Structure 1
Amino acid sequence: MLLENKNAVIYGGGGGIGRAVAGAFAREGARVHLAGRNRESLDEVAETIRAAGGRADTDQVDALEEAAVDRFTGAVVERAGSLDISFSLISFSEVQGTPLTEISLADFERPVHNAVRAMFLTSRSAARHMIRQQSGVILAFGGYGDPPRDYNIGGFQVAFGAMESLRRNLAGELGPHGIRVLTLQTGGVPETIPEGLEYRDVITEKITEQTMLGRPASLEDVGNVAAFAASDMARSMTATALNITAGSVVD
């Protein structure tokens, strides 16, 4: 198994992407520590993992709160002995569908603030433990790329751009300590689009049209790539993005 005896922290572990990543990590032998604000959704994911023979713990944590994040990572290390993988997958509370010329300042800057704050706090807290271990992997999700045409995504893509800048800085500073920092670069995962969203079908169609493979990445794809990126199979990879856009972004 790729992640045998590893301890993986997943913030936003009750969401669609968090659930897929947690399942893949557990399948590959990791003990997953699911964190988020909704205890019910976390417990549901944990029960699914345990039913499949995996190991999962849940903690109610707000990834935007500094003290809460630090307490959580400390508790993980105390009970499990190490913190090997950290992945923030919280939602950004973005507003989409409103042109930049009409969006409010608060709605524009909220996803940027939330994305960067969560990534910084969770990465910093994990890195402090990983430095003592001289090993670890920090993952980010989103990546760079052009925004979808004919659709207004507010500060969402700006948030991803800011996270990429932070990822580069983290990789440079943490590399000498044996810590790798990677992004899973997506062109959009239609399965995560809310069912009731007005533009759901349009967005799904556009995501699919832009791919070279004629299909977008699935949640299963995301989980599988995340497990690979976090494993020693990818031990020479850092400071880069793993392109899972199905060809919609060409490197």
Structure 2
Amino acid sequence: MDSHMTSLISPFPLLDNQDVPLVLLGGTLCNARLWQPVIGLLNVSSVQTVTVCAADSAAALSQQLLTVLPPRFYLAGFSLGAIVALEMMAQAPERLAGLALLSVNPLSDAPANAASRRAAVQDAARQGVGPWLSTTLWSRYVAPDRLDDAVLHHTIVQMAQECGTETFARQTEIAITRADHRAALSAFTAPVLVLSGAHDVICTAEHHQAVTCAAPRARWLTLADSGHFLPLESPQAVATALRHWIQESYHEKKSA
């Protein structure tokens, strides 16, 4: 589990979720820095961040996490983390008080993508993961009006460099071998929050619609000013949405 530090001031009073902590799963080449702005604004009493790196498949990583996590928790995943979150939902739906999916693609990966994905890892190793990301992915990661945001660019590159190519290789295998869990999602009865960026060219509106159509209790919000990296581009909007999602689940538990 990752640790986090933040100095942001939350507009919300402290929400006590010690009994049901919030677990945040990061995306490809992301670590705890991804969630720091959101955590600072969200102001919940118990939160854990996870870097997706400890296994070569979503199924194996999910089994590991379910072994060490509390009996019940709120689960939110971003991008690759959303893929792992869907796997955890499929394996143990009764453990999840709620599911939040940010910048998600619920479909299995096309077999033809495997070679180019693995080649990208090799390119990143040769060029350095930071320079490689800057030239290949940066323009697709954020909304057009954020492309000149040097601070945002630095944060994303810093995360990638801290993760390194060994983690990138494992994450790539997770992406290649992922399963389509829409059938399991259709039987999931807890609240599902779906967040997308209006300018996301990686996980498109069609991908988020596929999740929303599958989940009987899904609520889909599109953030107009964001691309793919919602937690860093629009932390206030993400924190507000997550806060409402947690409160919805909490009030259901109280009234049950």
Q: TM-score, normalised by structure 2?
A: 0.42
Q: Which has the higher contact order (CA 8 A, sep 6+)?
A: 2
Q: TM-score, normalised by structure 1?
A: 0.43
Which structure shows the bigger proportion of residues in helix conformation? 2
